[in-house]
Structure 1
Amino acid sequence: MACNQSSIETYEYLLPNASHEGDSRVPPPPATLRMSLAVLMMLTVVAGFLGNAAVCIIVYRRPAMRSAINLLLATLAFSDIMLCLCCLPFTAATLVTVRWHFGDSFCRLSAALYWFFVLEGVSILLIVSVDRFLIIAQRQDRLNPRRAKVIIAASWALSFCVSAPALAGWTLVEVPARAPQCVLGYTELPAGRAYVLTLVGAAFFVPFAVMLGAHLGVLHAVRKNAVRVHNQSERLDLRRLPRACLRRLRRQQQQASLDLSFKTKAFTTILILFVGFSLCWLPHSVYSLLSVFSRRFYCGPSFYATSSCVLGLSYLKSVFNPIVYCWRIKKFREACLELLPPTFQILPKVPERIRRRIQPSTVYACTENQSAV
């Protein structure tokens, strides 16, 4: 309807079986591309569910793993699971059939759920990034499991408050005729545009700016600390120190080096998650704003194909996080192997006591209560 009227008088839906002049000018992508994207999305559902479910199971089954940072990462994994299960299968089905078969009421509900789980995942990633900044740059370790649970509950409530107006009708959400999923449609109403600015800003631009500043602050602090330690080592004449002081100094330097290495490695993992979030969500955020504010873009002949690619890229973030955990975190890899049935375990399980003898470095336990998964 937005493409057939000069102005929109009210919030309306495009009925699934209705025929419009504008729709005939927007042919769907070729069947080969649609089927490929649909298969990719279903693989994303399976991989996202299994990978993020492993994170949740590991944190739930091991009381020692229920630190503040792990509770946050488990919440992030749960939001990705719900995003994959509640939205992605319907998008894949619509891509294959080029029709929405689930009704206009569920269309608005699915759009609200999409933004709800996206907002929750972004808020958790923002909290984790700020926590890393406070620990490394400001040396303030204030987050504990109890506070983390309160923050998680508050993030769910805030995400619901921001996404609920889409369900109540504050913006135009159209049944898929121009896109494979219920997306924000073009509107000229000031209230609708203001809400979309708030929604997209809360889902990407504001968290991106805060996380970018936090990561830059951490990098500056790490560089500053490295320069300070190097300068102190050059000014200190170790030959004039007594042996007892020299041994104590070396132990302190080794402990500080291990602690800094642990914190830097955890920060690097969060930084990689931030980069993945930015790459997956920047195109979708720009696309959403153009859909609402640009009639020419929304009614253009390439809108359906653009929507399919952008939505597929945004869903890849759900698979990206477990891959990063498996790549960066050794404990996560070991815990995932333990979850496999004995039939699929190729190598025999080595007891923890023997592993410590083989690798004495595993005895070291970081005093920081924010140890990562």
Structure 2
Amino acid sequence: MAWCNGSSPDACGLMEPNGTDPVLDDHSLMPVTLRVALAAVMIFMITIGFLGNAIVCLIVYQKPAMRSAINLLLATLAFSDIMLSLLCMPFTAITVVTVDWRFGGEFCRVSVMLYWFFVLEGVSILLIISVDRFLIIVQRQDKLTPHRAKVMIAASWALSFSVALPSVVGWTVVEVPTRAPQCVLGYSESLADRGYAVLLAVAVFFVPFGIMLYSYLCILNTVRRNALRIHNHADSLCLNQVSKLGLTGLQRPPQVNVDMSFKTRAFTTILILFIGFSVCWLPHTVVSLLAVFSRRFYFSASFYPISVGALWLSYLKTVFNPIIYCWRIRKFREACLEFMPKTCRIFPRVPGRSRRRIRPSNIYVCSEIQSAV
């Protein structure tokens, strides 16, 4: 059976040996006030996530100069977060308050498919961005053009849809909540169901996490070595100038200052996104696997509050990205001011500095005759 009603676990053979289901007792669920508070926070998250990510999409759509490869990827990541906020989070908020799925069994399967579909797409885009940073900084290869980015975006959508499809066509057990805050892959002893749960966990978290972790470790090592080379080269220039000018101990040699912040700022932003992805998705991945594999955990009284917390943390990522953009990216802050009504602006807009296009890989190269770009 591909779909089970959580209000009657005996229909799926999931009752406890003594014929009781402890999770159905309201006292074992979260307090009403806490559930209402979590739902209110989720509504606030939906608003912030939608507005912040919509600005990212509008920036790329309205300004042709902003349609670079990396910006197209960030816009796709923002769009997947928008869809997750609009098509999944509202139903979860209602279910958290009512502790009852009110949208039917068919939409239950659809909601599971949409959830994993948009999550997989967001993770795929973040993985592409991380690999692109690895190629630029470590391999010094800037090969991702806007055309290639569009091809990879289309491929990621197709792959994500293929992985999420089994949950909607009835190839795996989907559980209607009373024991979860939204429709989930419930406990099953079927090897096919467990294999699909492992596939989702591997595709959503473990493989992307491993690849991105390796990429960022290599990038950190490369940036550290380049920083040492630049500072060593600057010291050698300073010594050469001292020897040529014949400066005495009473005279101070000229200082050569090398600012590395502009070389690592873009990478640091992507690294923060990776850390946010890891923190938000590790708990949900573990809970999802335990729900399918562990009967004791799935039917325990603690499963509902734990699953609510893990799911809330996974949704937090949709709000996390726009906040990071606003904090780290000056162009994003300027675009926010442009979209903001003039009556709401506190400070007048200051003209920005002139911009020039450079190859991203060039700022990480340290040559023998040039210590800064």
TM-score norm. by structure 2 comes to: 0.86
2:24–2:178: 8 Å Cα contact kept in structure 1? no
Q: Distance in 2 between matches of 1:215 and 1:347?
A: 37
Indicate whether 1:192 and 2:181 are aligned. Answer: no
Corresponding residue of 1:3: none
Pick closer, same or farther for the CA change 1:183–1:102 going to 2, 3 Å: same
Shift of residue 15 of structure 1? 5.5
1:16–1:100: 8 Å Cα contact kept in structure 2? no
Indicate whether 1:153 and 2:154 are aligned. Answer: yes
1:69–1:370: 8 Å Cα contact kept in structure 2? no
Q: Distance in 2 between matches of 1:17 and 1:327?
A: 48
Corresponding residue of 2:262: 262
1:68–1:369: 8 Å Cα contact kept in structure 2? no
Corresponding residue of 2:366: none
The one-letter code sitting in structure 2 at the alignment partner of 1:282 is L
Corresponding residue of 2:307: 307
Corresponding residue of 2:44: 43
| Unpaired runs of at least 5, structure 2 | 246-253, 363-373
2:56–2:75: 8 Å Cα contact kept in structure 1? yes
Q: Distance in 2 between matches of 1:94 and 1:274?
A: 30
1:137–1:217: 8 Å Cα contact kept in structure 2? yes
Corresponding residue of 1:365: 356
* Pairs within 5 Å for 1:334-345: 334-345=334-345
Per-residue displacement from partner, 1:3-46 (whole Å, max 9, x unpaired)?
xxxxxxx4331155888732435732110111111111111111
* Pairs within 5 Å for 1:174-323: 174-236=175-237, 237-239=239-241, 261-323=261-323
Shift of residue 370 of structure 1? 8.8
Shift of residue 366 of structure 1? 4.5
Shift of residue 268 of structure 1? 0.1
Pick closer, same or farther for the CA change 1:170–1:18 going to 2, 3 Å: closer
Indicate whether 1:12 and 2:13 are aligned. Answer: no
The one-letter code sitting in structure 2 at the alignment partner of 1:200 is A
Q: Distance in 1 between matches of 2:79 and 2:192?
A: 32
Identity %: 60
Shift of residue 348 of structure 1? 3.0
Q: Distance in 2 between matches of 1:295 and 1:102?
A: 26
1:277–1:317: 8 Å Cα contact kept in structure 2? yes
Return 226-235 or 98-107, whichever deviates more: 226-235
Q: Distance in 1 between matches of 2:8 and 2:342?
A: 51
Per-residue displacement from partner, 1:280-316 (whole Å, max 9, x unpaired)?
0000000001001111100101111111111111100
Per-residue displacement from partner, 1:254-275 (whole Å, max 9, x unpaired)?
9xx67x6434110000000000
Shift of residue 367 of structure 1? 0.5
1:281–1:314: 8 Å Cα contact kept in structure 2? yes
Shift of residue 58 of structure 1? 1.0
Pick closer, same or farther for the CA change 1:146–1:261 going to 2, 3 Å: farther
Corresponding residue of 1:68: 69
Per-residue displacement from partner, 1:187-243 (whole Å, max 9, x unpaired)?
11111111111111100010000000000000000011112223333344432679x
- Secondary structure of the 2:179 match is coil
2:136–2:361: 8 Å Cα contact kept in structure 1? no
2:3–2:175: 8 Å Cα contact kept in structure 1? yes
Shift of residue 168 of structure 1? 1.8
Return 166-175 or 104-113, whichever deviates more: 166-175
1:136–1:263: 8 Å Cα contact kept in structure 2? no
| Unpaired runs of at least 5, structure 1 | 1-9, 243-249, 356-361
Q: Distance in 1 between matches of 2:229 and 2:361?
A: 25
The one-letter code sitting in structure 2 at the alignment partner of 1:61 is Q
Corresponding residue of 1:108: 109
Pick closer, same or farther for the CA change 1:123–1:298 going to 2, 3 Å: same
Indicate whether 1:331 and 2:322 are aligned. Answer: no
The one-letter code sitting in structure 2 at the alignment partner of 1:165 is P
The root-mean-square deviation of aligned C-alpha atoms, in Å, is: 2.3
Q: Distance in 1 between matches of 2:200 and 2:80?
A: 17
- Secondary structure of the 1:183 match is coil
Q: Distance in 1 between matches of 2:24 and 2:178?
A: 10
Shift of residue 172 of structure 1? 1.4
Per-residue displacement from partner, 1:319-352 (whole Å, max 9, x unpaired)?
00000000011111011011011211223334x4
Q: Distance in 2 between matches of 1:285 and 1:316?
A: 14
2:138–2:222: 8 Å Cα contact kept in structure 1? yes
Pick closer, same or farther for the CA change 1:60–1:48 going to 2, 3 Å: same
Corresponding residue of 2:139: 138
TM-score norm. by structure 1 comes to: 0.86
Corresponding residue of 2:81: 80
1:196–1:289: 8 Å Cα contact kept in structure 2? yes
Q: Distance in 2 between matches of 1:334 and 1:93?
A: 36
Pick closer, same or farther for the CA change 1:364–1:63 going to 2, 3 Å: closer
